[in-house]
């Protein structure tokens, strides 16, 4: 059983009619529904910005194996203390899936150490996503390429560290490419960044997108290795 918390800032849905029409219960519910479709492996709850401590209390995070993050217009409103708490949980083994505009979230930038900026364009154009690592569990059941139209364009250079594994690369109609599925390891935690999901498009209802996110959650679940001991250390062997 993998305990997943889907976090959404849940702001666009309240102020933009178009977004509300696409995601009447919020983006988080569409993502949560997609995970639940992938079966009894997941125990899914949601959390949003306006809840106390953004719904990410220490207790809530301690009971989370994988956190899914969607944010866009309210990154600055996320409390630094909560960001530090999430960061600490990732280093101690909690998985993290960062979606789309979450590239600019405080938690992603803090974990990456870079600016995380990119090119973008809202032109309802076609995105074609190619699998470049067919050995990866996140590619399980995913065709060698699939299309999303309409989607927002994200283009290189994406200012992230070189990913530990590059799973997907996107092609865009307007002429750009993007490293769309990237994994990173930080401490005991595993992180998966997945590009699609502009708020005005029904991306999180797409069955392949849902499968990728479910695969990502399985992959990012804690491995259960020993917590490393650090600090002043006695010798294990005699020193001459």
| Interactions with its own copies, residue window 134-193 (CB under 8 A) | 134-137, 139-144, 153, 155-159, 161-162, 164-166, 169-177, 179, 184-190
Identify whether the C-beta of residue 67 lies closer than 8 Å to the C-beta of residue 97.
yes
Judged by CB under 8 A, the chain residues 215 through 234 that form the site for its own copies are 223-234
The least CB distance from residue 24 to its own copies, in Å, is 29
Among 67, 118, 212, 214, binds its own copies (CB under 8 A): 118
By residue count, the chain amounts to 240
Contact flag: residue 1 with its own copies (CB under 8 A): no
Q: Which of 21, 73, 115, 207 binds its own copies (CB under 8 A)?
A: 115
**Minimal distance in Å, beta carbon 74 to its own copies?**
20
Residues binding its own copies: number (CB under 8 A) = 77
Distance of closest approach, residue 86 Cβ to its own copies, in angstroms: 12
Answer for the pair 196, 209: CB distance below 8 angstroms, yes or no. Answer: yes
d(CA 96, CA 226): 19
Between residues 51 and 132, which has the closer beta carbon with respect to its own copies?
132
Nearer to its own copies, 23 or 193 (CB): 193
Nearest Cα to Cα of residue 65 among 214, 220, 226: 220
Check residue 237 for interaction with its own copies (CB under 8 A): yes
Please list the residues that pair with 166 across neighbouring strands.
Answer: 182
Residue for token digits 């993050």? 69
Q: Are 116 and 109 in contact (CB under 8 A)?
A: yes
Q: Does 76 bind its own copies (CB under 8 A)?
A: no
91 contributes a contact to its own copies by CB under 8 A: yes
Please report whether residue 104 would count as binding its own copies according to CB under 8 A: no
Three-state SS at 228: coil
Q: What is d(CA 39, CA 36) in angstroms, rounded to the nearest whole number?
A: 5
DSSP string, 68-89: EEE-STTGGGS-HHHHHHHHHH
Distance CA 128, CA 147 (A): 4
Q: Does 123 bind its own copies (CB under 8 A)?
A: yes
Q: How far is the CB of 92 from its own copies (least distance, A)?
A: 10
Q: Binding of its own copies at residue 101 (CB under 8 A)?
A: no
């Amino acid at each position: 059983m993998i305990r997943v918390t889907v976090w959404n800032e849940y702001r666009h849905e309240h102020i933009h009619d178009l977004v509300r029409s696409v995601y009447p219960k919020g983006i988080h519910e569409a993502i949560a529904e997609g995970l639940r479709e992938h079966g009894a492996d997941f125990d899914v709850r949601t959390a949003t910005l306006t809840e106390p401590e953004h719904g990410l209390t220490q207790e809530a995070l301690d009971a989370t194996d994988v956190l899914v993050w969607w944010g866009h217009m309210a990154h600055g409103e996320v409390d630094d203390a909560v960001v530090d708490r999430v960061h600490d949980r990732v280093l101690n083994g909690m998985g993290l899936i960062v979606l789309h505009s979450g590239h600019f979230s405080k938690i992603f930038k803090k974990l990456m150490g870079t600016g995380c900026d990119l090119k973008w364009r809202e032109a309802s154009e076609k995105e074609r996503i190619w699998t470049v690592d067919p050995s990866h569990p996140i590619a399980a059941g995913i065709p060698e390429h699939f299309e999303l139209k309409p989607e927002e364009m994200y283009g290189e250079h994406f200012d992230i560290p070189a990913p530990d594994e590059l799973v997907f690369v996107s092609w865009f109609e307007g002429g750009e490419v993007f490293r769309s599925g990237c994994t990173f390891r930080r401490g005991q935690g595993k992180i998966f960044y997945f590009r699609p999901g502009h708020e005005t498009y029904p991306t999180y209802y797409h069955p392949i997108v849902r499968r990728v996110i479910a695969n990502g959650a399985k992959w990012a679940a804690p491995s259960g290795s020993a917590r490393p001991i650090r600090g002043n250390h006695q010798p294990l062997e005699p020193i001459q």
